[in-house]
Amino acid sequence: MDITNQSYKRVKRWGLFSLLAIAFLQAGCTAPETTTMETAGSQPPQFDESWLDTVQGNMPLVISAPHGGTIKPEGIADKDCGAKVMDNNTADLAFEIKNAFAKYGKTPHLIVARIARAKIDLNRDKDVATCEKPLMGETWEQYHQAVERALEQAIDEFGYAMYIDLHGQSHPVKRLELGYLLKTPALTESYEAPQTNPERVEQTSLRNVLRDNDKLSLETLFTGEKALGTLLADAGFPAVPSQSDPYPQEGEPYFTGGYNTRRYTSADYPKVFGLQIEANYDGVRDSEENREKFSAAFALSVNEYLMFIEANSNW
């Protein structure tokens, strides 16, 4: 017998066994590596139906209210860019307006955000609205798709749509600010030098209704007897521009209209015209009673305004 060879084999087998035993013990004593994985249920939703209210209308009026929401979903951080302040009671005001139109057997299309502006600004383009955070991109898409559907339905039924983006402001002068995309100097010149208006039409949110139209003009729709601002002022709710208040005075703040108004009254939507309405708080949004009073005057004024538009447009 070759003792040396036999001993070598025993040592080799024992060494292999020892290595396996040590490896087993190490595996048993060492804590397993932890892999952190978020389950689908732990991730915040990208969109929830409770964040958006819509109403299908039966008239050529589409109203959106992007800044009146109060829902702040857990797990979704506040925006780190842009404005976060809500327009108090504008969501309630939009629905009160809907109720006021029921007197006439009509219902405006509504698109009302319930998610807070602190989470997403639905009156901005997508990147700015979401602060370039993809989580809220789906919410932005759902909101604007709802606006587009409403406009399409109104146009299919009536041949045109009037679009109003409803907001709230707290400026010192208690009045409605009607934003047609013109800043104060241009609005002032429009009134004081109306001969310059033909070249200004394409800058406004009324461009589509005024295109190839010799019956209507900026003067008519800004400060005429049937201008929306004039009708609202005659109903007890001062507005600028209107016949009695044609433009803001120097130093007076005034909102001209934002992303939604620019987008939905652009040449890309040739059968749509409209404006942004910034409603003052006191006397309009501050109480249920005042919201009801304003909404009744608003429905009356818009009905008369649309009758005037239909009688004098090419649609």
Please state the φ and ψ torsions of residue 267, each to the nearest 5 degrees: -65, -15
Model confidence at 43, pLDDT cuts 50, 70, 90, reads low
Model confidence at 46, pLDDT cuts 50, 70, 90, reads confident
Please check whether residue 166 is in contact with residue 280, taking contact to mean a CB–CB distance below 8 angstroms. no
Architecture of domain 45-312: 3-Layer(aba) Sandwich (3.40)
Asked whether residue 3 carries a pLDDT value surpassing 80, the answer given is no
Residues 6+ apart with CB under 8 A from 150: 54, 56, 57, 62, 109, 110, 111, 161
Asked whether residue 23 carries a pLDDT value surpassing 50, the answer given is no
Which has more confidence, 20 or 79?
79
pLDDT digits 0-9 by tens, 131-183 = 998 999 999 999 999 999 999 999 999 999 999 999 999 999 999 999 999 99
pLDDT value of residue 215: 97
pLDDT value of residue 27: 43
pLDDT value of residue 7: 42
Q: What percent of the chain has pLDDT over 70?
A: 86
Average pLDDT over every residue of 57-76:
97
pLDDT digits 0-9 by tens, 280-300 = 999 999 999 999 999 999 999
pLDDT digits 0-9 by tens, 224-283 = 999 999 999 999 999 999 999 999 999 999 999 999 999 999 999 999 999 999 999 999
